[in-house]
Amino acid sequence: MNAGALAPQAAALLALDPHGLGGVWLRARPGPARERWLAQLNTLLPQPPRRLPAHIDDHRLLGGLDLAATLQRGRPVQQPGLLAESDGGVLCLAMAERMPPALAARLAAVIDTRHVVTPAGAVPARLSFVALDEGVEDDETLPASLADRLAIHLRLDEGTKLAAAPAAAELEAARGRLPAVRVDDELQRHCCEAAAMLGIDSLRAPLLALRLVRASAALAGRTRANRDDMELALHLVLAPRARRLPAPPPAEPPDAPPPEQDAGAEDPGDESTDPDPQQPLDEQVLEAAQSVLPAGLLQLLAGGGPRRAPPSSGRAGSATASRRRGRPIGSERGLPRGGARLDLVATLRAAAPWQPLRRRESTQPRSLHLQRDDLHIRRCRTRRETTTIFAVDASGSAALHRLAEAKGAVELLLADCYVRRDRVALIAFRGAAAELLLPPTRSLPRAKRCLAGLPGGGGTPLAAGIVAAQALALSLQRQGSSPSLVLLTDGRANIARDGQPGREAAHRDALAAARQLRDAGLPALLIDTSPQTQPAAQAVAEAMGARYLALPHADAQQLKRAAAVSLAR
């Protein structure tokens, strides 16, 4: 089944049982395909979905003081908040890939408990969510806590032609049928087995798959679920969550046709609607997985690719591209000037106790008497996190004691970074390629260990090193960290970008890579570790737009100071 056929089914199933399924995670660029799908969903739902912006604040989401009414009446008036207002409906999450983890956690709690905890108490809120994910890169996705609770994960490429969706009248009939649908034990077991085969850890997945199976049976007009429903669940719920491909089943002997086929042809009035009862579950799962997963991913999985874990940064939260700038962390007295925003509730709290007094003393009748001293502004914290990428030339040409000095300097800088709560990453290049030895981390012991184990030897693939550093810097920028680069090398590149030896080509490639780095605007420092200053290293530094530091007899402290100066820009 292709996406064009699956998507309308998904819309219908969601409209049939929105709260049971939790919602849909739709990964699609904005365009005709997505709009068509949303239009299909619109016609099937009793009420059109409301929009929930990704950066909505708690006040509007959960409810709180209705400021206008409060000021008018002089008494606190609560407003219900978007979640409570939308009780029983579907909410569209725009730009879901930028959702802050706090919002995802709140929505996950609402899905779990079906209530919203407001200042006034717990208010019922049965909701379903359509997360519109427009992300392009792998690390721009919906937070996992929310994704786990949305049953359907759907991917729509631009230009997908959608088939027609079931009519709204069919849905009405199906809704009536839904409570009576039965799923037998066999199918329940298959759900769990399929999930296990695909390496899905969360037990929510088979549970949601079962609910989809029921909805699918109801939609098809049956009260017993069968393999067709299971297949749909595989495509929509389980295969998109797969972490590994199941091993293909052993080939069946070709000369033993399954006896059921003849039996099926003999009595067409057979009650069972199973198309191919002998098709083992493994094959079915494999087919479904292969059809849903994009081609590149298959290769990665088949090759035992690494399990991609989001970069861990305990305090900073998950890897969505949420901006850290200006996150409100409290309020203080002050005037809302120069970009500072008024904190209304704190202002009211400060003014509240004085009201009776001011009312008595004032000549004008007003519901709320505010004075200058009452005003509070939001205090925001801008966390500018820096990550320093160390690219170390570990080739044979970097004499042994140079490498040791470079390591020593990096260690000293690590101590600085630890104090400043910055992060450090380590790339080493030697031989034929560059390698990311240490992904960005604040962990001093890990970095030390990594450095200690770095061997020297081989050619100098300078271009590869610069390119690798730039790639890492780019991904860090996307996550809201500001990267800077410290390159320790002697500039004597002798391995070109394609891995072939040759001084000329290598130098040309290195310069080209350096220029790209400069165009990207990355602050950089090049430390020349050769015994005598080389024009090659200077040329690379100039092409990179980097500060050049020639230390023929580098000692760690000097390196550290120089690097600190460069980073302080």
Partner 1 sequence: MSGPAFPFSAIVGQDEMKLAILIAAVEPAVGGVLVFGDRGTGKSTAVRALAALLPPMWATEGCSYACDPHDAHDGCERCRTLKVGGQARRRRVPVPVVDLPLGATEDRIVGALDLERALGSGERAFEPGLLARAHRGFLYIDEVNLLEDHLVDLLIDVAASGENVVEREGLSVRHPARFVLVGSGNPEEGELRPQLLDRFGLAVEVRTPAEIATRVEVVKRRDAYERDPAAFVEHWKKEDAKIRRRVVAARERLGAVNVPDAMLERCARLCIALGTDGLRGELTLMRAARALAALDGVDEVSDVHLKRVAPAALRHRLRRDPLDEAGSGERVERALAEAL
Check: CB of residue 192 under 8 Å from CB of residue 234.
no
Q: How far is the CB of 150 from partner 1 (least distance, A)?
A: 13
Residues forming the site for partner 1 (CB under 8 A): 58, 65, 70, 74-76, 100-103, 105-106, 108-109, 112-115, 117, 119, 122, 124, 144-145, 148, 185, 188-189, 191-193, 195-196, 201-207, 210, 309-310, 312-318, 330, 345, 348-350, 352-357, 368, 445-446, 449
Which CB atom, from 295 or from 329, has the smaller least distance to partner 1? 329
Tokens 């056929």 -> residue: 5
Q: How far is the CB of 314 from partner 1 (least distance, A)?
A: 3
**Nearest distance from C-beta of residue 487 to partner 1, angstroms:** 27
Is the Cβ of residue 253 or residue 314 nearer to partner 1 in the bound state? Answer: 314
CB closer to partner 1 out of 195 and 425 = 195
What's the min distance (Å) between Cβ of 34 and partner 1? 27
How far apart are CB 242 and partner 1 at their closest, in Å?
15
Least distance in angstroms from the C-beta of 208 to partner 1: 10
- Torsion angle of the four alpha carbons 508, 513, 519, 520, in this order, in degrees rounded to the nearest 10: 180
* Nearest distance in Å: CB 76, partner 1: 5
Using the structure block, give the residue that is written with the tokens 């039965």. 182
Q: Cβ of residue 388: shortest distance to partner 1, in angstroms?
A: 20
In the complex, least distance from residue 545 CB atom to partner 1, rounded to whole angstroms: 35
> Of 117 and 520, which has the nearer Cβ to partner 1?
117
Q: Looking at beta carbons only, is 271 or 361 nearer to partner 1?
A: 361
Helix (H, G, I), strand (E, B) or coil at 61: helix
Instruction: Please give the biggest Cα pair distance in the chain.
Output: 102
Nearer to partner 1, 39 or 122 (CB): 122
The whole-angstrom separation of Cα 102 and Cα 107 is 9
Q: Give CA angle at 103 (97, 108), nearest 5°.
A: 95
DSSP state of 253: P
Amino acid at 492: R
Q: Which is nearer to partner 1, 318 or 388 (CB)?
A: 318
DSSP-derived 3-state class of residue 268: coil
Residues 6+ apart with CB under 8 A from 454: 392, 394, 403, 407, 428, 437
Output 173 or 357, the one with its CB closest to partner 1. 357
What number of other Cβ atoms are within 10 A of residue 385's Cβ?
19
What lies within 8 Å, CB to CB, of 544 at 6+ separation is 466, 487, 514, 515, 517, 518, 524, 526
Q: How far is the CB of 498 from partner 1 (least distance, A)?
A: 36
- Cβ closest to partner 1, residue 352 vs residue 415: 352
**Rounded to an integer, what distance in angstroms lies between the CA atom of residue 13 and that of residue 215?**
6
Using DSSP's 3-state secondary structure scheme, residue 427 falls into: strand
Q: Which residues contact 449 (CB under 8 A, 6 or more apart)?
A: none
Tell the burial category of 126 from Cβ atoms under 10 Å away from its Cβ (0-12, 13-18, 19+): middle
Structure tokens at 366: 């007003």
> Tokens representing 56?
């909505």
- At residue 306, φ and ψ (nearest 5 deg) are -70, 145
* 159 vs 445 by CB, closer to partner 1: 445
Cβ distance to partner 1 smaller for residue 298 or 345:
345
Q: How far is the CB of 317 from partner 1 (least distance, A)?
A: 6
Q: What are phi and psi for residue 552, nearest 5 degrees?
A: -60, -40
